[in-house]
């Protein structure tokens, strides 16, 4: 008999919310089958079976918050004895409250006698063609997924499909204003062009929107990082003409790479030369990592995820480009696994595609540093005493002063700059 336990799906995970069983009691389970869905502090993930047999017990109910390592089910032979007191929880589709990540105390549509969720409408069975994050958003918008055409692989429904179907930007749907009585019109005071004008306008309204589980996890992580990590910051300008020329040459030969791919590859090469920037703090010790696993911050509608490119020291520039594209697609379709999110030793956050020139990112504990990447812009500089237009990008390194000192961090950042300005080194 094999115990199914609540897995540790990320470095920071201590508990997870059980989503739904994908197998019923008495059903055959083969190693590698998807047996359940788990909601972590970062995403909704599919739980694979690590042993074959019959599903004998289901000890977890949809929406239940469970500590890592707790037994949630049993797989064994047919002759094994089932526990009579353990009811079968067969729920191919989570209840609406579970989908929204709200607590387990109460389910919408709950049957008062049984304590289990009431039957889910037939139209929602179509949700198997959509990732959990898409199903949650469809519920929030009141969209019947059976009416949505999926543009993903095999007709899978993506977040973009929901937005096209509804015609509503998700940012507009997330925070509807509270109704206001006509008599509650107020005088809005605002400073316009620094003149302190007073305007008579429509009333100011506000709505208290509970944090999603992802936003709660982000809030906990960054608050702890800001409170405990002594940050310091360094910024350099990188001249990108040569790097952009490499991009054009690769694209013309059928091998497209992004600026971010070049930054990841250049950072990996620099980390190999400056291993202390690839270290972590554990208790009172600095742990040096033999692998260079770079996490990439990926923006989502309601937060962000940091999937990890593992073994970057062994990856070519084209390997990095291919794997980065795959991880970003998985992140935005809600298909990341625990392996995709765990084990990062360094992180990169790129806001250049939004036109941001420079910014400082918060170090992701227990890592030593994070690199913030700005936009590539035209800039006028002095060359040989004459003004010249160049293509320039700002890189800002945020570092944990307990692990890395200023001079070391400056040399490390300078090495990234040198590699990006002589990008032929990344093609070797």
Q: Is 344 exposed, middle or buried (0-12, 13-18, 19+ CB in 10 A)?
A: buried
Angle in degrees, CA 381, 382, 387, rounded to 5: 85
Which tokens sit at 13?
Answer: 């995970």
Maximum Cα interatomic distance, the chain, rounded to a whole number of Å = 87
Secondary structure E strands in 290-345: 294-296, 298-300, 303-305, 308-309
Q: Output the six-digit token pair for 218.
A: 């982000």
Distance (Å) of CA 103 to CA 15, 17, 85? 13, 9, 24
CA distances from 346 to 72, 258, 371 (A): 33, 19, 8
Instruction: Identify the active-site residue in 149, 197, 314, 401.
Output: 401
Helix, strand, or coil here: 15?
strand
For residues 54 and 76, is the Cβ–Cβ distance under 8 A? yes
For 198-317, list the strands marked E by DSSP: 198-200, 231-239, 279-282, 285-288, 294-296, 298-300, 303-305, 308-309
> Could you give the angle at the alpha carbon of 393 between the alpha carbons of 388 and 395, nearest 5°?
140
**Cα distance between residue 249 and residue 44, in whole Å:** 39
CA dihedral 9, 268, 367, 399 (to 10 degrees): -150
CB 237 within 8 A of CB 393: yes
Say how far apart CA 224 and CA 289 lie, in whole Å.
23
- Quote the CA–CA distance of 92 and 24 in Å, as a whole number: 9
Neighbour-count burial for 58-72, b at 16+ CB within 10 Å, e otherwise:
bbbbbbbebeeebeb
Residue 401 is among the residues annotated as catalytic for this protein: yes
Which single residue is written with the structure tokens 């800002």?
396
d(CA 227, CA 221): 10
The residues assigned a catalytic role are: 401
């Amino acid at each position: 008999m094999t115990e199914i336990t609540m897995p540790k799906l990320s470095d920071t995970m201590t508990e997870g919310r059980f989503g739904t069983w994908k197998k019923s009691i008495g059903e055959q389970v083969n190693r590698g089958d998807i047996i359940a869905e788990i909601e972590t502090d970062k995403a909704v993930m599919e739980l694979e079976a690590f042993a074959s047999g019959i599903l004998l017990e289901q000890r977890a109910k949809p929406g239940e918050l469970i500590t890592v390592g707790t037994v949630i089910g049993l797989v064994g032979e047919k002759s094994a004895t089932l526990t009579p007191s353990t009811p079968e929880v067969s729920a191919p589709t989570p209840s609406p409250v579970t989908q929204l990540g709200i607590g387990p105390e109460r389910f919408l549509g709950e049957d008062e006698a049984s304590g289990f969720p009431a039957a889910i409408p037939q139209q929602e069975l179509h949700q198997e063609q959509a990732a959990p994050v898409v199903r949650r958003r469809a519920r929030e918008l009141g969209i019947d997924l059976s009416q949505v055409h999926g543009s993903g692989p095999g007709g899978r429904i993506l977040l973009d499909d929901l937005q096209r179907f509804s015609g509503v930007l998700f940012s507009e749907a997330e925070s509807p204003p509270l109704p206001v009585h006509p008599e509650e019109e107020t005088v809005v005071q605002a400073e316009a062009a620094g003149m302190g004008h007073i305007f008579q306008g429509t009333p100011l309204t506000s709505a208290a929107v509970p944090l999603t589980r992802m936003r709660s996890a982000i809030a906990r992580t960054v608050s702890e990082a800001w409170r405990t990590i002594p940050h310091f910051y360094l910024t350099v300008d990188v001249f990108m003409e040569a790097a952009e020329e490499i991009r054009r040459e690769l694209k013309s030969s059928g091998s497209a790479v992004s600026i971010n791919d070049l930054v990841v590859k250049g950072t990996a090469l620099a980390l190999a030369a400056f291993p202390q920037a690839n270290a972590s703090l554990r208790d009172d010790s600095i742990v040096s990592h033999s692998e260079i696993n770079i996490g990439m911050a990926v923006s989502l509608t309601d937060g962000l995820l940091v999937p990890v490119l593992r073994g970057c020291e062994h990856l070519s520039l084209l390997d990095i480009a291919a794997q980065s594209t795959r991880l970003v697609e998985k992140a935005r379709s809600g298909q990341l696994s625990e392996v995709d999110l765990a084990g990062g030793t360094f992180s990169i956050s790129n806001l250049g595609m939004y036109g941001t020139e420079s910014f400082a990112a918060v170090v992701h504990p227990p890592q030593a540093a994070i690199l913030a990447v700005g936009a590539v812009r035209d800039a006028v500089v002095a060359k040989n005493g004459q003004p010249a237009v160049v293509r320039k990008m700002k890189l800002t390194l945020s570092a944990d002063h307990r692990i890395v000192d200023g001079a070391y961090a400056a040399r490390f950042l300078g090495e990234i700059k040198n590699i990006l300005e002589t990008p032929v080194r990344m093609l070797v």
